[in-house]
Amino acid sequence: MFTRIDMLPIYDSDERDRVQSRWDEARNLELVEKVRGLIRDGAGENFPAIHYQSGELPILHDDFDLRGIILTGEDITFPTADNFMGVSFCYGRFYSCTFRNAHFFNVDFAFAKFHDCAFVNCTFSFASFYGCTFEHTRLLSCDFPQYGSFTNSDFRASTVQNCFFSERPFFDCRFDEETTVSLPPTDRPHGNWQGDLQLHKKCMAEFYKGCKEAYRAGEVVRQSRRFNLLERQAITRHNTKRRADKLWGYLLEITTGYGLLPARIVATMVAAFGLLSIVPVWKLGFWNGLLLSAGAFFTFGANADKASLLGSIGKVLYIVEPFVGVSLVALFVTILARYWFSES
């Protein structure tokens, strides 16, 4: 369940102010610009450790400390390499930045804020986004090949498009009405990876579940229902082993849309009524047979006196038809009420 970010147990406003203030102080302007210049030059797997150890960046507190950094208006195309390894961007602030081809390995983005940013063809391995805020931010054709996850993060008017995830990426997040996740999810990474790296079919349900819960937290009912349906379809297709359970799942999907699509019930009612009307129409003619069948299906008893003309099979069907009709009508009313008035 999504928790307001400033209410998270490990959120520390004093620590946030401490690590952010150094990047805003006028006396550190030269060092701040040097860090930004190193990032523009592609950073590198030894960044910023080698510069901290040599004493070039006394503004940092340890080998991997970029906590609270502020980057504004950067548009950087990184070389194909390990650009950031083990770096901490906790409480970082990124505004109107575009990063292309960046590789983030074992990077911590806890409580970072992203506004009007774009990550294009970037790779996030063992990257953690905990308690982050994304506003008007786009993740485009990015790879999350190993343990890349978003936990309790808030997405507002943001886009996740054509990205690869090897497993479920969203946990306890919140999506607003303007946030979009492109479907279907990309099942293969964009970069070159050794081995059989893919989003396995058995993980699809968890992927959809994370999106469903995020939209539900944002009270976006339409999208929450959409991903709820996709989750149940994936469970039926990829996570159900017993043949009987799988067939039952398909039956529920076709006839009721798993209780999420009232139109499916209407179609089922029409099909059932049509099939049960065959014998009465054949025995009594079109209008008399149709009226008798409707009277049985909807239990208002029209033409009941003609039931004796149906023959043995017709009489059995006449007994069965009210049960089928009452059951389907009750199910339709229940699903319709849920669809109209439920918040999820």
Q: Residue 174: which of 49, 23, 41, 2 has the closest Cα? A: 2
Q: Which two tokens stand for residue 26?
A: 């006028």
Give strand pairing partners of 150.
129, 170
pLDDT number for residue 195:
60
pLDDT of residue 176: 96
Give the rounded distance of the alpha carbon of 257 from its chain centre. 19
The C-alpha angle 265, 207, 183, rounded to 5 degrees, equals 70
Helix (H, G, I), strand (E, B) or coil at 116: coil
Query: What is the structure's pLDDT at 337?
Result: 87
- Helix (H, G, I), strand (E, B), or coil: what is residue 144? strand
**Residues with Cβ within 8 Å of residue 69, at least 6 apart in sequence:** 23, 35, 89, 92, 93
Q: Is 67 helix (H, G, I), strand (E, B) or coil?
A: coil
Q: Token pair of 269, please?
A: 């009612």
**Which residues pair with residue 301 across a beta bridge?**
none
Q: Which 8-state DSSP code applies to residue 199?
A: -
Q: pLDDT at position 124, please? A: 94
Predicted local confidence at residue 327, as pLDDT: 92
- Alpha-helical regions (H) of the chain: 13-24, 29-40, 49-53, 204-217, 221-234, 243-256, 262-276, 278-284, 286-297, 311-341
pTM, 2 dp: 0.88
* pLDDT for res 344: 56
Helix (H, G, I), strand (E, B) or coil at 186: strand
Total count of residues recorded for the chain: 344
Q: Which residues of the chain have pLDDT under 70?
A: 192-196, 343-344
